[in-house]
Structure 1
Amino acid sequence: MKSGFVNILACAGILVVADSAAAADVYSPVAPETHQLVIEPGWTFSVAPYFWAAGLSGEVGQFGLPPVDVDASFGDIVDHLDFGAMAIGEARYGRYSIFGDIMYSKISGVAGTPRGILASNVAVSSETFAGLVGAGYSLFESNSGRLDVVAGVRVWSVENDISFSGGILDGLSQSDGATWVDGMAGFRGNYSITPNIYLTAWGLVGAGEADIDWDVAGAIGYRFNDQISAVAGYRALGVDYNNDDGFIFDVVQQGPILGLVVRF
């Protein structure tokens, strides 16, 4: 039961947050890149679904229970995944940009108890939402690269349900969760190697209701044409949150990331 229960709890922490897809440039591993960086007149927009094969490690505490150490691979998480959606978008006007990044996942699982006295089975379901909204400004631009400063707000929401069947606790169910907000700031940059191939990276750090909230990534991208680009890289994200009710979410998620961007 412990292994299954820990894996399920680990799934509650999966999220991936790529910062945003750029319009005329890139700072996220899911955005297109132009070889000659040009500030285009008027508004430009981009949207990008993405996939993050992230594992999770750290400490989780909920339901008034002592904190549990978790160390789940991406495969462990996928085994319990019911639904997941990740997407980012950006609107850019000259040097200014407004971006958003949302992620939602729902996982569930059932584990049998060793003795079956308190309960025969324990069912756990978890819903996790993470969203980042922010704005950026280009500090430096050249024909081959760009550096942006960005700031925004990240909202987290985690809701877990546990229910028992059989045994003394038959029919008992309980919910636990938390919602919190953190301010974020950092930099994003990109560099064109060829007209089609580019490098991109970013780093964000912040705090608020969480003690610390951070996000770093690096990737290589390939631009097929003016509208479509693909990227592949690696990302790590961490958050350390706890409240007076004993809810603890102190985790690090990391793994390869893939994305496809459509610009219009």
Structure 2
Amino acid sequence: MPEEHGPAKSPNWALQVTPYMWAASLDGYISPFRRGPTIGVEKSFPDVLENLNIGGFINIWGRYDRFVFSGDIMYVDTTDSHSTGSLPAFTIPGSGVIPPGGNIDAKVDTKQFTATLMGGYRVIDRPQFTLDALGGARVWHVSNNVKLTGSLGGMSGSVSYDESFGWVDPLVGLRAFLPLTEQLSLQGQADIGGFGAGSDLTWSAMATVNYVFSDRLSASVGYKVLDVDYKHNGHVYDTRLSGPVLGVTYRF
């Protein structure tokens, strides 16, 4: 989200907070529990919004001299239903083996927390352009409450199960800022990581157009993508969130 205009006019330190809305669509593959069946998910933003219980997004950015800090925090709580079948045999933890050929109706309440924390150094600091080199980590935590109703032949039954898992991805990235006028600017930030330490691969990118209303207040509109490919210990979380963003920035 936007930074102070004109590095030459800036003090040695800056701090800003940007709550924002993200009209994200969702595409990917998810297992609702460990070693469970993998479910394909493809949802537009209206579909995501229909299943949303609560969500929040906030970006924090700071600078002291040429040292910079970037933090982006996301929390989303959704409830969704899926129907799959005919399935191979699989195991529900604590409930035993489900034989092959069954059909499953799954109601999944998912809570996802993601925090991207990065620090770095301003390698280019000019009035007409700045560039920051960044390094850090992205923390993921996913909690699922799953209610399964299954049928096989003439028999049916249901079971509920709670499960949480998480991981940490190392990251490297860049952040660029280009003032166009006293009020208008462009900004882009991208990172890549995982490298098998947490997920196999994760990356994100965001580009915004920013408008300054006052020394304290500005607004941004743009586009953001967050992608992750995590397959470990029976869990599958291979998803991409993408869509427009709209934020309001307050500078301290």
Q: Fold match, TM over 0.5?
A: yes
**Structure 2 vs 1, CA of residues 124 and 67 (structure 1 numbering), >3 Å: closer, same or farther?**
closer
Q: Name structure 2 gaps, 5 residues minimum.
A: 86-101
Tell me how far 1:112 sits from its aligned partner: 8.6
Pairing 1:219-238 to 2, within 5 Å after superposition: 219-238=208-227
Aligned partner of 2:94 in structure 1 is none
Q: Deviations over 1:142-182 (max 9, x none)?
A: 11110110111110011111125798424x21123420000
Q: Give the CA deviation at 1:37.
A: 3.8
Partner of 2:79: 108
Q: When the two structures are superposed, what TM-score results if normalisation uses the length of structure 2? A: 0.83
Q: Which amino acid aligns with 2:136?
A: G
Q: Deviations along 1:5-57, whole A, 9 cap, x unmatched?
A: xxxxxxxxxxxxxxxxxxxxxxxxx224414544513x432111011111111
Classify the secondary structure of the residue corresponding to 2:157.
coil
* Residues 32 and 230 in structure 1, CA contact (< 8 A), matched pair in contact too: no
Looking at structure 2, the residues matched to 34 and 223 of structure 1 have their Cα atoms a distance apart, in angstroms, of: 8
The structure 1 segments of at least 4 consecutive aligned residues displaced by more than 3 Å after TM superposition are 35-39, 109-114, 118-123, 164-168
1:242 CA drift (Å): 1.0
1:130 aligns with 2:114: yes
- Bigger relative contact order, structure 1 or 2, given CA contacts below 8 A and separation 6+? 1
**Cα offset, 1:120, TM superposition:** 11
Q: Structure 1 residue 254 and structure 2 residue 242: aligned?
A: yes
* Deviation readout 1:188-232 (Å, 9 max, x if unpaired): 101111111111111110112101110112111101111111111
* 3-state SS of 2:37 partner: coil
Which residue identity lines up with residue 69 of structure 1 in the other structure? G
| Selected match of 1:187 from 174, 182, 199 | 174
Q: Does the Cα contact within 8 Å between 1:33 and 1:192 map onto a contact in 2? A: no
Give TM-score, length-normalised by structure 1.
Answer: 0.79
Whole-angstrom distance in 2 between the partners of 1:57 and 1:104: 18
What secondary structure sits across from 2:47 in the alignment?
helix
Distance 2:235 2:84 in 1: 23
1:242 aligns with 2:231: yes
SS at match of 2:116: strand
Query: Sequence identity of aligned pairs in percent?
Result: 31
Give the partner amino acid of 2:163: D
1:176 aligns with 2:163: yes
**RMSD (Å) for aligned C-alpha atoms:** 2.4
**Residues in 1 aligned to 2:129 and 2:121: alpha-carbon distance in whole angstroms:** 14
- Higher percent of residues as strand: 2
Given the alignment of the two structures, is residue 88 of structure 1 paired with residue 65 of structure 2, yes or no? no
Question: 2:5 aligned with 1:34, yes or no?
Answer: yes
Q: What secondary structure is seen at the aligned counterpart in 2 of 1:31?
A: coil
Which residue of structure 2 aligns with residue 44 of structure 1?
Answer: 14
CA distance in 2, matches of 1:149, 1:111: 42
Q: Which has the larger radius of gyration?
A: 2
- Aligned pair count? 229
SS in 2 for 1:182: strand
> 1:169 aligns to what SS in structure 2?
strand
**Contact preservation (8 Å) 1:32, 1:229:** no
| Aligned mates of 2:171, 2:104 — CA distance in 1 | 44
Distance verdict in 2 for CA 1:239–1:149, change over 3 Å: same
- Cα distance in 1 for residues equivalent to 2:247 and 2:143: 27
Task: Give 2:187's aligned amino acid.
Answer: T
In structure 2, the residue matched to 1:201 is 188
Q: Which residue of 2 aligns with 1:57?
A: 27
